Amino acid sequence: MTRVVEKQTPFHWLLVALLSVLAVGLGYAVLSLPGQTPGLSDFVTENIETSGVSNPVTAVLLNFRGYDTLLEMGVLLLALLGVWSLSRVPEQSEASPGPVLDMLSRLLVPLLILVAGYLLWVGARAPGGAFQAGAVLGAAGVLLLLVGWRPDARLSGLPLRITLVMGLGTFVTVGMVLILVGRRLLEYPPPFAAALMLLIEAAATLSIGITLAALFMGGRPAERSQQ
Amino acid sequence: MNHVFLYALVGVGLFTLGLYTLIVCAHLLRKILAINVMGSGVFLVLVALGGRTPGAIPDPVPHAMVITGIVVAVSATALALALMLRVRAETGRARLPEERLE
């Protein structure tokens, strides 16, 4: 068995003691919070009518705290840029996936895409939304990559990049247009809120799913023009 | 003590365990996993504390923050793994150099 922890020194016990103090302190802080508090849920419930959706979590994510989601799309893109700048896609091993995985992936990938679409649509009134749908789409991409599928060189150039920035791009465009018509950034007019949020969520779902699958690929895909 | 605080304390425990592993283990993959355990602890605390509302519906704001946080954690983990693979390609191993204090 490999040795995980280095030889125990006095510093090790000092570390354990310090971390115990930290844990007790954090636990005390948690326990000293009031046992019952409405938090921000009252604000959300009061304003849910103007948000365009009836699911409070989606209302917070896309409307009340849209900044968070906007910047989070940026973080996803930055992480992918970091991975792409570190390495290229490793050489593909030509191992065949085996009949079970092969059949299963053919059955599951269309089903996963369908589930992603459903989650995106149902997010307006029930648990679901862009992130869940994006994660399911990403899982479909990971499954395809595991089976040995690689995007065609024609697709991995501009089309892939456009899909990756589409979520952030749509978000920023909607925000900018709202500023131009005299509202604040991401302050949706209530009659159009539902449609605008669905538009942003649809673009974000595609971007999140493709980004997660591209992260799993582990590097920049080869392009035809570079050969 | 109700279940909200039980979950929150489990979250604090996960955070501390992750921090311990992050400091003690020299292997980079263990460090990345430790940071993920720490993050899960923080998410558990946030979700648990969001359930302290008087009604049946929990506070949606911490839940939305956790959803955002999970996606950020996944992408940060992917970047960290790519960095680790690059370190291994450059130095031939995925551990930090050992420096004894004595």
At A64-123, the pLDDT tens digits run 888 888 999 999 999 999 999 988 887 766 667 788 888 888 899 999 999 999 999 998
Calculate how close chain A gets to B10, using CA atoms only, in Å: 9
Determine what percent of chain A is predicted with pLDDT higher than 70.
92
Mutate to test the interface with B, among A12, A28, A43, A60 (most CBs of B within 10 A): A60
Is B52's CB within 8 Å of A35's CB?
Answer: yes
pLDDT grade, residue B102 (50/70/90)? very low
Query: How many degrees, rounded to 5, is the angle at CA A148 between CA A146 and CA A150?
Result: 110
Question: Residue B26: what are its φ and ψ, rounded to 5°?
Answer: -90, -20
User: What Cα–Cα distance (Å) separates residue A101 from each residue in A44, A109, A137, A147, A150?
Assistant: 45, 12, 18, 7, 16
Rounded Cα gap, residues B98 and B95, in angstroms: 8
Mean of the per-residue pLDDT values of chain A: 86
Question: Which positions ≥6 away from A7 have C-beta within 8 Å?
Answer: none
Is A76's CB within 8 Å of B72's CB?
Answer: yes
Residue B1 has pLDDT above 60, yes or no: no
Confidence at residue A3, expressed as pLDDT on a 0 to 100 scale: 53
Question: Residue A27: what are its φ and ψ, rounded to 5°?
Answer: -60, -40
Rounded Cα gap, residues B53 and B57, in angstroms: 7
B58-79: buried (b, 16+ CB within 10 Å) or exposed (e) per residue? bbbbbbbbbbbbebbbbbbbbb
Question: Could you report the per-residue pLDDT of A19-44, keeping only the tens digit for each?
Answer: 999 999 999 999 998 888 887 888 88
Question: Could you report the per-residue pLDDT of B31-55, keeping only the tens digit for each?
Answer: 999 999 999 999 999 999 988 888 7
Question: Using an 8 Å Cβ cutoff, are A129 and A202 in contact?
Answer: no
Of B4, B49, B61, nearest to A44 by CB-CB distance is B61
This complex has an ipTM of: 0.86
Is A41's CB within 8 Å of B26's CB?
Answer: no
Is B4's CB within 8 Å of A35's CB?
Answer: yes
Is B5 part of the contact surface with chain A (CB cutoff 8 Å)?
Answer: yes
Confidence at residue A202, expressed as pLDDT on a 0 to 100 scale: 93
Which pTM does this prediction carry?
0.85
Residue A195 has pLDDT above 80, yes or no: yes
pLDDT grade, residue A60 (50/70/90)? confident
